[in-house]
């Protein structure tokens, strides 16, 4: 019998619980979340076997999954270091950034507790435990940042999530944060900027944003995400995000100058390069 404790029963924590419950029936899933409505809903649905407190769930667990915002994960790692956990426990997290989390994990690792960083590369703009789904991560990349976990602990974790058929990718924390900044964090800033700028510019227009077609909606879908979660991400990956935003400012300045100058070749090349790269992305996604 394996006991898994999930702290944070939102979109990601509750989806992991649903996946684990789909697999091995010999697993007890305990959950804790300050939102009692979510916890009771998941209990009634059989997604978790019991609601508990952070300390109680942690001391009973063979696997602890920290699934709150990144700022909560780092605080909880400090708290775990003060508890009497099972000596064989694996502590892992799902946070969108890894450098700060791995640094905070040193506190538990120094106590001889195994920690392994994690990050599923799938999700949604939706939030909360009711929005979770067992198929949310199907076939997605799941980043692992090696900590002090033993091979059998990593294998146990991977077995628990086997129903999702994840693509496990081991990566260094610095490389992870630079990469996800480029493909997730900076795009998030841009999507929010698109919405905020367009809404501001159109505030006196009687039709305004309501006239937007699918392109605007699909480009900005993620701007509907939870601001608390994204604030924690921005504050924990500041260096990569700010330096990569500089490249966007440079590129926008270049294309702005080309449009202003009527430079047809530069404008065409700009869109041609984007079209070829984007078409290739769809192609590799379909194969992958
Ligand atoms: N939303 C997404 O698509 C993805 C999010 N992530 C990461 O997963 C983590 C969770 O994100 P979501 O599930 O989307 O957010 P969410 O907002 O749906 O869920 C977060 C949950 O944490 C709970 N929480 C807050 N403080 C807590 C505390 N002190 N103790 C226990 N629970 C607490 C909240 O009540 C909420 O239920 C974040 O670190 C995020 O960066 C990773 C991959 C994808
Ligand atoms: O909604 C989407 O398409 C996402 O890209 C969700 C997402 C949000 C945060 C992550 O760290 C990973 C994935």
**Beta carbons of 97 and 190 less than 8 angstroms apart:** no
Closest C-alpha residue for ligand 2 atom 1: 124
Ligand number nearest to the C-alpha of 230: 1
Ligand number nearest to the C-alpha of 69: 1
Q: What global pTM score does this model have?
A: 0.95
How far is 192 from 205, CA to CA, in rounded Å? 20
Mutate to test the pocket of ligand 2, among 10, 121, 133 (most ligand atoms within 8 A of CB): 121
Domains (ranges, CATH) in the chain? 2-172 (3.40.50.720), 175-287 (1.10.3660.10)
Rounded to the nearest angstrom, the distance between the alpha carbon of 13 and the centre of ligand 1 is 7
ipTM (interface pTM): 0.99
How far is 66 from 223, CA to CA, in rounded Å? 24
**DSSP annotation of 287:** H
Helix H segments across 23-170?
Answer: 36-44, 54-60, 70-80, 99-109, 151-160
Rounded to the nearest angstrom, the distance between the alpha carbon of 195 and the centre of ligand 2 is 18
Span 82-138, pLDDT tens digits: 999 999 999 999 999 999 999 999 999 999 999 999 999 999 999 999 999 999 999
Span 247-268, pLDDT tens digits: 999 999 999 999 999 999 999 9
Ligand number nearest to the C-alpha of 177: 2
The H or E element that residue 28 is part of is: strand 27-32
């Amino acid at each position: 019998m394996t006991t898994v404790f999930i702290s944070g029963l939102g979109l990601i924590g509750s989806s992991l619980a649903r996946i684990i419950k789909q697999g091995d029936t010999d697993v007890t899933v305990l959950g804790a979340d300050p939102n009692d409505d979510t916890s009771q809903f998941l209990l009634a649905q059989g997604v978790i076997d019991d609601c508990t407190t952070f300390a109680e769930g942690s001391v009973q667990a063979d696997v602890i999954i920290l699934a709150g915002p990144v700022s909560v994960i780092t605080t909880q790692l400090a708290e775990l270091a003060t508890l009497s956990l099972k000596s064989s426990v694996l502590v892992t997290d799902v946070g969108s950034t890894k450098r700060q989390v791995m640094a905070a994990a040193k506190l538990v690792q120094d106590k001889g507790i195994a920690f392994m960083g994690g990050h599923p590369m799938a999700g949604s703009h939706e939030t909360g435990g009711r929005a979770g789904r067992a198929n949310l991560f199907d076939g997605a990349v799941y980043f692992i940042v090696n900590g002090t976990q033993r091979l059998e602990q990593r294998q146990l974790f991977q077995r628990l999530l086997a129903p999702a058929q994840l693509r496990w990718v081991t990566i260094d924390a610095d490389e992870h944060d630079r990469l996800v900044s480029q493909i997730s964090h900076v795009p998030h800033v841009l999507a929010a900027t698109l919405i905020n700028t367009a809404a501001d510019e159109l505030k006196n227009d009687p039709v305004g944003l309501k006239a937007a077609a699918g392109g605007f909606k699909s480009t900005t879908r993620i701007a509907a995400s939870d601001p608390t979660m994204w604030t924690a991400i921005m504050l924990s990956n500041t260096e990569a995000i700010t330096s990569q935003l500089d490249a966007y400012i440079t590129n926008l300045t270049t294309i702005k100058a080309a449009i202003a100058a009527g430079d047809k070749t530069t404008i065409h090349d700009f869109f041609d390069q984007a079209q070829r790269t984007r078409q290739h992305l769809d192609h590799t996604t379909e194969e992958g």
